[in-house]
Amino acid sequence: MNRKLTRLIYLFSAFAFCSVAAQAQHRLPDGYYWKKLDNGLEVVVIENSKVPLATVEIAVKNGAYTEGPEYSGLSHLFEHMFFKANKEYPDQEKFLKRTQELGAIWNGTTDVERVNYFFTFEKDSLDAGLKFMNAAIRFPIYREEDMKKERPVVDGEFQRAESDPGFQVWYESQKYLWGDLLTRKNPIGDHNVINTATPEKMMTIKNKYYFPNNSLLIICGDVKHEDAFKRAQKIFGDWQSSGFNPHEKYPIPDFKPLSKSEFFVKESSIAEAPIMMYTWQGPSYKTDSAATIAADVFSTILGLNSSKFKQALIDKGLASSAGLYYSTLRYTGPIEMDIQPNPGKLKECFDEVNKQISMWSSSDYFTDEQLADAKAILLRNNLRQQEKPSSLASQLSYMWCSTSFEYGTDINSNYQKVTRADIKRYIDTYINQKPVVAGIILKPELNKQANVESFFVANK
């Protein structure tokens, strides 16, 4: 999935709150308004009156990328504990009762570079909803009895993932792709770390990352930005800044480039159909934002039914599905190719996949019409994403955490500017003759029958 932040300049003034214009503004879409409070909290108001609802979201620059081995998966557990108890609602029963009183739809997510929480409710409940969010984000209570209940819930999500052969081959691939920094790319975590987590570890996470100067508050829906900014200032203005940049104090280590290709065969009794996966280390927003745009366009070209990729694999019966995907991240986004090969043609499929990869950089691999079609598809997809007001906040917060506001504002126009040269540079820099991790998962009996280890190897 393609998901796409920037340097902020603001003026300290006794009248800073009274005038949004007193601050250097970001380029945002029409109806989006930004300001930064004196404590460093960035606030965006999205005016959208399609429905009489309001969504309040807070995103924090936290997630797997902040986790060493001893904290693997605890950003995710922290997200679950967010909805438990706090100073205003000292047990989960009171917390849930308040969500019912507000008529709120609520949830949270944990990803590699973002943790976010949101509530959607009637627009007349905006003030109450902001106060509810304020209590949860600033004044959590980590009770041992709550953690005892929630640890197995979070670990259960991990166990359910492990029952999916696609996850199994993905997880094995990640070990090779990231090496000793695996935990910084794996939001789901580690069983032992999750099951032994303590309230003290939750407080460590809070005291590192949960500050206004590392957070974004979005107020979206049938609201007016002047009023929303006033409410945000009144409710969140006394939230104390950390006094430091968490990502300077606790820097993210550099992800080491792959030194060689790694191929593996994994047997699993639950792999009813074989799954093949190739992964490369792709571009980072902070070092090569142009390549992140080209990556999206090229992946979309390969997804066309008319593409040489689909015709060679799907139309000829070598695979039932095949696709290339890139995840835009500030720190080294992965490129992933997923293929479900025909069980009776595993070697033929493998050979054709490698042949297709070797052709990607060729000038005639796709037509001008296919390039135009891919750009049109990306534009339509983006327009569709704007149709549900309650989802706008989450789209924006992902941009803020992993790229920039401007990146999101310009993404449609930048897709249209992508050239063949841009795509070739992307492929040659990150894929063509670069180290790759490739894995296949299948049943033991199929592996024995096809002798997969004899051919599923890197080219010498």
Q: What is the CATH number of the domain that holds 382?
A: 3.30.830.10
What are the tens digits of pLDDT across the range 298-332? 999 999 999 999 999 999 999 999 999 999 999 99
Which pLDDT does position 204 carry in this prediction? Answer: 98
Which pLDDT does position 459 carry in this prediction? Answer: 83
Of 249, 282, 299, the position where a domain reaches its end is 249
- Kindly report the pTM of this predicted structure: 0.92
Residue 5 lies inside a defined structural domain of this protein: no
Residue 2 lies inside a defined structural domain of this protein: no
Which pLDDT does position 201 carry in this prediction? Answer: 97
Does residue 219 sit in the same domain as residue 325?
Answer: no
Bridge partner list, 442 = 267
Does residue 268 sit in the same domain as residue 244?
Answer: no
Which pLDDT does position 23 carry in this prediction? Answer: 62
Neighbours of 263 (CB within 10 A): 18
DSSP 172-220: HHHHHHHGGGGGGG-TT--HHHHHT--HHHHHHHHHHH-SGGGEEEEEE
Of 218, 249, 280, the position where a domain reaches its end is 249
Does residue 437 sit in the same domain as residue 345?
Answer: yes
Nearest Cα residue to 410 out of 432, 431, 386, 379: 379
Does residue 242 sit in the same domain as residue 291?
Answer: no
Residue 132 lies inside a defined structural domain of this protein: yes
The count of structural domains within the chain is 2
Does residue 128 sit in the same domain as residue 233?
Answer: yes
Which pLDDT does position 24 carry in this prediction? Answer: 72
Does residue 76 sit in the same domain as residue 223?
Answer: yes
Does residue 193 sit in the same domain as residue 283?
Answer: no
What are the tens digits of pLDDT across the range 353-400? 999 999 999 999 999 999 999 999 999 999 999 999 989 999 999 999
Q: How far is CA 164 from the centre of its chain?
A: 20
User: What's the rounded Cα separation, in Å, for the pair 257 and 260?
Assistant: 9
Neighbours of 454 (CB within 10 A): 8
Strand ranges in 283-412 using DSSP code E only, listed in sequence order: 319-326, 334-341
**Residues 6 or more apart from 298 whose CB is under 8 A from it?**
324, 360, 374, 423, 426, 427
Bridge partner list, 337 = 278, 324
> In degrees to the nearest 10, what's the CA dihedral of 117, 120, 125, 128?
-10
Does residue 187 sit in the same domain as residue 91?
Answer: yes
User: What's the rounded Cα separation, in Å, for the pair 172 and 169?
Assistant: 5
Instruction: Answer whether 202's CB lies under 8 Å from 150's CB.
Output: no
Nearest Cα residue to 393 out of 11, 81, 106: 106
| DSSP run (H or E) holding 229 | helix 225-236
Does residue 140 sit in the same domain as residue 270?
Answer: no
Instruction: Answer whether 138's CB lies under 8 Å from 207's CB.
Output: no
Does residue 220 sit in the same domain as residue 278?
Answer: no
Residue 441 lies inside a defined structural domain of this protein: yes
Does residue 43 sit in the same domain as residue 163?
Answer: yes
Q: Which residue has the tokens 């106060």?
A: 131
Residue 9 lies inside a defined structural domain of this protein: no
Could you give phi then psi for residue 57, rounded to 5 degrees?
Answer: -130, 140
User: What's the rounded Cα separation, in Å, for the pair 294 and 421?
Assistant: 10
Neighbours of 358 (CB within 10 A): 12
Question: SS3 for 460?
Answer: coil
Of 215, 249, 283, the position where a domain reaches its end is 249
Question: CA geometry: angle at 201 spanning 200 and 207, to 5°?
Answer: 90
User: What's the rounded Cα separation, in Å, for the pair 266 and 280?
Assistant: 19
Which pLDDT does position 13 carry in this prediction? Answer: 30
Positions in the chain short of pLDDT 70:
1-23, 460
User: What's the rounded Cα separation, in Å, for the pair 309 and 303?
Assistant: 8
Does residue 219 sit in the same domain as residue 281?
Answer: no
Residue 459 lies inside a defined structural domain of this protein: no
Which pLDDT does position 460 carry in this prediction? Answer: 62
* Residue 66 belongs to domain spanning: 20-249
| DSSP run (H or E) holding 43 | strand 42-47
- The one-letter amino acid code at 247 reads H
